[in-house]
């Protein structure tokens, strides 16, 4: 019994400093924001308590729901397209020679270490309707009718921005998956090869199932990173045309700083935080629930 309580108290002693730091730097800063979301505020003055009116105004705004649709479109591109591609790149890299892996690692990480502004400006030039890379390629192969003004058309603007985001971080996710692959004991692969399994069967039956913890981590990282999608929109379209390409974070910025409705902008921020917490909880609850031990 004494051993049980000594272990329990020792865990508490080690946990308290981390909990204090989390409270001071993560929980406490949220309290003034929650309080501001219940007031009308122009950034300089508190203009009075309005209760939940800021939240009601946010939910009744069509721009708010359009921003959510755009945000979850980016999340879908990142998770449903980006993660499978990253996994395939990681599996491909693991099967290559050491020399090729070194080249591939450098190439994969290069976009992720570039500034978001640099990447966004580069893709703006790619999408230029007159001399951009994509339209020029389409014209050169006789598909001039497929050209678009990619960043000013309602149908193409969000997929175009999402493609630039996908390109920048697909290599980083591939490196995370590759790092997870290298932690799997080699005897699993050796036994499968002796039994006659090919590359596809080894990947599906052994590698991917044993990467479930890494998959959960990358899923959370990619989902929340996509939820916080802002800089690319700011640089590439400034939310345009109109409000077509605004995301939740951009809508929060626009409401607070462009229209000086800080109370309403903070209300959007509170809603956004709750959404991120809910998504993180759902991923933790339902993805990779079993603990694997090698």
Angle formed at CA 181 by CA 178 and CA 186, multiple of 5 degrees: 140
pLDDT in tens, 202-247: 888 888 888 988 999 999 999 999 999 899 999 999 998 888 999 9
Q: What is the pLDDT of residue 293?
A: 63
| d(C-alpha 191, C-alpha 196), whole Å | 9
Residues 22/228, Cβ–Cβ less than 8 Å: no
Q: What is the pLDDT of residue 285?
A: 86
Residues 220/213, Cβ–Cβ less than 8 Å: no
**Beta-carbon neighbour count of residue 201 at 10 Å?**
13
Q: What is the pLDDT of residue 289?
A: 65
Q: What is the pLDDT of residue 219?
A: 94
For the chain, list the domains and their CATH numbers: 63-250 (1.10.3720.10)
- What pTM value is reported for the model? 0.88
pLDDT in tens, 156-191: 999 999 999 999 999 999 999 999 999 888 888 888
Examine the pLDDT at 135 and tell me if it is beyond 90.
Answer: yes
Examine the pLDDT at 101 and tell me if it is beyond 70.
Answer: yes
Q: What is the pLDDT of residue 185?
A: 87
Binning pLDDT at 50, 70 and 90, where does residue 292 land?
A: low
Dihedral over alpha carbons 29, 32, 37, 42 (to 10 degrees): -110
| d(C-alpha 169, C-alpha 49), whole Å | 42
Closest residue by Cα to residue 47 from 272, 277, 264? 264
| d(C-alpha 164, C-alpha 105), whole Å | 20
Closest residue by Cα to residue 238 from 258, 256, 222, 266? 258
Q: What is the pLDDT of residue 294?
A: 58
């Amino acid at each position: 019994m004494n051993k049980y309580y000594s272990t329990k108290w020792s865990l508490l002693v080690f946990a308290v400093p981390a909990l204090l730091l989390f409270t001071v730097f993560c929980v406490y800063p949220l309290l003034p924001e929650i309080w501001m979301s219940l007031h009308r505020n122009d950034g300089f003055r508190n203009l009075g308590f309005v209760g939940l009116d800021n939240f009601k105004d946010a939910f009744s705004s069509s721009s708010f729901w359009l921003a959510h649709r755009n945000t979850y479109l980016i999340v879908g591109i990142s998770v449903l397209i980006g993660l499978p591609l990253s996994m395939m790149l990681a599996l491909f890299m693991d099967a290559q020679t050491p020399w090729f892996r070194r080249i591939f690692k450098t190439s994969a990480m290069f976009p992720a270490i570039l500034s978001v502004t640099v990447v966004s400006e580069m893709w703006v030039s790619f999408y230029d309707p007159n001399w951009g890379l994509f339209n020029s390629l389409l014209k050169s192969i006789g598909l001039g009718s497929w050209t678009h003004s990619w960043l000013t058309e309602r149908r193409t603007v969000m997929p175009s921005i999402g493609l630039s985001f996908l390109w920048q971080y697909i290599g980083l996710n591939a490196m995370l998956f590759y790092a997870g692959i290298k932690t799997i004991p080699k005897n699993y692969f050796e036994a499968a090869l002796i039994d006659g399994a090919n590359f596809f069967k080894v990947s599906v039956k052994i590698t991917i199932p044993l990467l479930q913890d890494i998959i959960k981590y990358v899923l959370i990282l990619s989902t929340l990173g996509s939820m916080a999608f802002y800089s690319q929109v700011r640089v590439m379209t400034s939310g345009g045309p109109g409000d077509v390409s605004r995301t939740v974070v951009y809508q929060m910025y626009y409401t607070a700083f462009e229209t000086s409705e800080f109370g309403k902008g903070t209300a959007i921020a509170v809603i956004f935080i709750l959404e991120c917490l809910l998504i993180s909880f759902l991923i933790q609850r339902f993805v990779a629930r079993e603990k694997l031990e090698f």
